[in-house]
Structure 1
Amino acid sequence: MLKIAYCDDMKKDRDSIMISLGQIEDKWGEEFEITSFSSGESLCDSIAKNHYDIILLDILMNGINGIETATRIRAMGEESLIIFISSYDERVKELFKLGTIGFLDKPLQTGQLEEALLHASSILKKDESVYFTFNKNGSTQHISIKDIIYFENYKNEVILHTLKEDMRFYDSMKSVWEKLQSSDRFIMPHRAFIFNLGYVSIWIDKVTLKTTGVTYNIGNKYSGDTQIRHMKFLEKRCR
């Protein structure tokens, strides 16, 4: 299920987006999880605790505009795919395309929105095609790395926290990290934890888990690698 947020300070435009999304749901035979926001501030407040796959974001808004909202979203470490919606001319559009996956005109056309969502979905599906493999009770398990929130060391076990459930298996954090360090989605800021960058915010020497709000210290030994991985992750998602 796609988690979509859309932000526009004009009610008539929010209503138009909702109608278009409903038509696309019917056409695709899918159900989206849709959340509406009337300001950039309220969207950013929500992102501090929630993750959205796709954000439809108006540029011209009262309060903080769409550009500042997108900047704050990226500064929080959020990897959501952003699609701008506005009525700027073509030259300005080209500038904004550098940091987003799409730019839609107002008044919004359902066909254009569907095309942008198809593009976003294809990007998300590439992430879902990569799996973490581990052994549990003699059976090989496969978990999409996109669904992994973090790994936690507990005595001689590893606790795998996912969007749906927590699982325990016998292994070492060193072994888990050897499997994940080639991926650009993960950091190991402490010997006892490995986090998916899609579910955390990083500020100097702290990592905050969005799903719980709990903050963890970044160990001095792991600080450099953690910051480099975080920056590369954000740069790649903003292309």
Structure 2
Amino acid sequence: MLRVAVCDDEIVTLKQITHLLQTFARENKRISFDIESFQDSATLLSSIKKKHFDIYLLDIFIDELSGVEIARQIRADGSKSEIIFLTASEDYYRDAYKLKVSRYIAKPIEPEEFFEALSIICQRFEDDSFLIQDGKCAVRIPLRDILYCESAEHYKKIVTRNEEFVVRSTMQELISRLAADFFYPLGKRILINVLHVKSVTSEHVTMDNGQIFSLPRGEMRRLCELVQKYTI
């Protein structure tokens, strides 16, 4: 499920965008959205501090803080989330380019153009996957579906909710290939996906499949910050 933040000061536009997102998800069964709507910049920025969004749909003219300024803050935090500008103005293409905005969609919003932009963006998330190969077959797993990786001598066990895979690799190689900031190392032998963390104590981490790992001393605060950012 992709988390989507929509920010526009016009309630009619918010409803329209929500309807278009829901329509797109119904017509593309592999895609689902968790949509949150915001009518002002302050509420959106407050929410961004607490959680992660995969896609931002931002009006340029919101209130005292523009969509451009919000995008700058998103990028300043190092986020690589997809951003779409929605506006009736053509004056901000240069800003959109500098901020690596995915699309610049003119108002009034045309559904076909909107769906085309979503298709391209969602394909990028689908491409964000991990290819596992052995002597018999190759399997591509979305990074978000991986719960954790565990070291076992020269092999590494990759665990999803329904399957386990064993690959011959070093942990450092796995970390390099799993290039997403929602993976977190627990020492040298365990790499967990914070999207699947159920609970954290000062001593243990419990994953949502029931697996429990020891938490290295001094790691609780940083891990809790990531869990809060990605899973609340």
TM-score interval, normalised by the smaller of the two chains: 0.5 to 0.7
Gaps of 5+ in 2: 134-138, 197-220
Report deviation, 1:16: 1.9
Distance 1:213 1:27, change over 3 A: closer
Instruction: Flag structure 1 segments of 5+ consecutive residues without an equivalent.
Output: 134-140, 200-205, 215-239
Matched, 1:27 2:27: yes
Cα distance change, pair 110–148 in 1 and its aligned pair in 2 (3 A): same
CA positional deviation for 1:28: 3.0
Provide the residue aligned with 1:203 in structure 2: none
Q: Is the 8 A contact 2:143 2:178 kept in 1?
A: no
Match of 1:67 in 2: 68
User: Which residue identity is paired with 1:181?
Assistant: S
Q: How does 1:75-224 map to 2 (within 5 A)?
A: 75-89=76-90, 92-98=92-98, 99-128=100-129, 130-131=130-131, 144-148=142-146, 175-182=170-177, 184-185=179-180, 191=187, 210-213=225-228
* Structure 2 counterpart SS, 1:18: helix
Give the aligned partner of residue 56 of structure 1.
57
Identity between Structure 1 and Structure 2 (%): 26
Cα distance in 2, alignment partners of residues 198 and 72 from structure 1? 23
In structure 1, distance between residues paired with 2:15 and 2:59: 13
C-alpha distance 147-50 of structure 1, shift in aligned 2 (>3 A): farther
Q: Secondary structure at the match of 2:93?
A: helix
| TM-align CA RMSD | 4.3
| Cα separation, partners in 2 of 1:194 and 1:26, compared to 1, 3 Å | closer
Structure 2 Cα separation of the partners of residues 189 and 122 of structure 1: 28
- The code of the aligned residue for 2:58 comes to L
Distance 1:63 1:209, change over 3 A: farther
Match for residue 6 of structure 1? 6
Report the Cα distance in structure 1 between the residues aligned to 2:112 and 2:140, rounded to whole angstroms: 36
Which amino acid in 1 is paired with 2:11? K
CA distance in 2, matches of 1:117, 1:66: 19
TM-score, L = length of structure 2: 0.63
Aligned counterparts of 2:128 and 2:67: Cα–Cα separation in 1 = 26
8 Å contact 1:81–1:100 — kept in the other structure? yes
1:176 Cα shift? 1.5
Deviates more, 1:12-21 or 1:106-115: 12-21
C-alpha contact (below 8 Å) 2:184/2:194 kept by paired residues: no
Confirm or deny: 8 A CA contact 1:8 1:61 kept in the other structure.
yes
